[in-house]
Structure 1
């Protein structure tokens, strides 16, 4: 099982990564971590370093992958579509991602990457709050 885990450095995404790592261990799967950004910064490195530490502490059979992808238009709906493109192009079996508990106004304006991926019904999705 190949599991895609989009991360953004938030607590929800860290919980999703931890959940996906455990899922990969239990199901003999391979986690593939991707961080979407509109600009690579020191924060990007810190997010990926944290993911490396979490992955290194697990007993995963296959080598986990970490990738950073740049998104020109930066909103949650666009990120959700980028996640779906990655799922389709690489044939992932499952997506595990965190979901921010934004307010109604923020969701109406910015959307939600998790909702975009979930509503597409392209692949099984686990949402971790």
Structure 2
């Protein structure tokens, strides 16, 4: 099983990565960790460093990947579509994603990457709150 884990540095994302690590080790799967950004910053490196530490603690040699998007409008729906493009391009079997509860206004405006991936019904998805 090849598992894709998009990370964004939130606590929900970190819980999803921990869940995916456990899932992969129990099922003999491989992990691909990816972080999407439109502009790499120090925070970006901190997100990748945290993922490296979690993977190393579990004795997993996967290297988190940084994907830079050139977008004018940055929203969760766009990120969800990018995740689906990665799934299609690389043939992943499963996606594990964190999902944190936003306020009603934020969800109406920005949507949710996890919801976009889940509603596409293109691949099995595990959502970790």
Query: What band does the TM-score fall into relative to the shorter chain?
Result: over 0.9
Does structure 1 residue 20 correspond to structure 2 residue 20? Answer: yes
TM-score (norm 2): 0.95
Unaligned runs of 5+ in 2: none
Give the ranges of 4+ consecutive aligned residues of structure 1 lying more than 3 Å apart after TM superposition. none
Unaligned runs of 5+ in 1: none
CA distance in 1, matches of 2:59, 2:10: 24
Deviation at 1:16, TM superposition (A): 0.2
TM-score (norm 1): 0.95
CA distance in 1, matches of 2:35, 2:50: 12
The SS at the match of 2:64 is: strand
Paired residues, number:
127
The SS at the match of 1:116 is: helix
CA distance in 2, matches of 1:58, 1:26: 12
Q: Specify the alignment match of 1:69 in structure 2.
A: 67
CA distance in 2, matches of 1:84, 1:8: 16
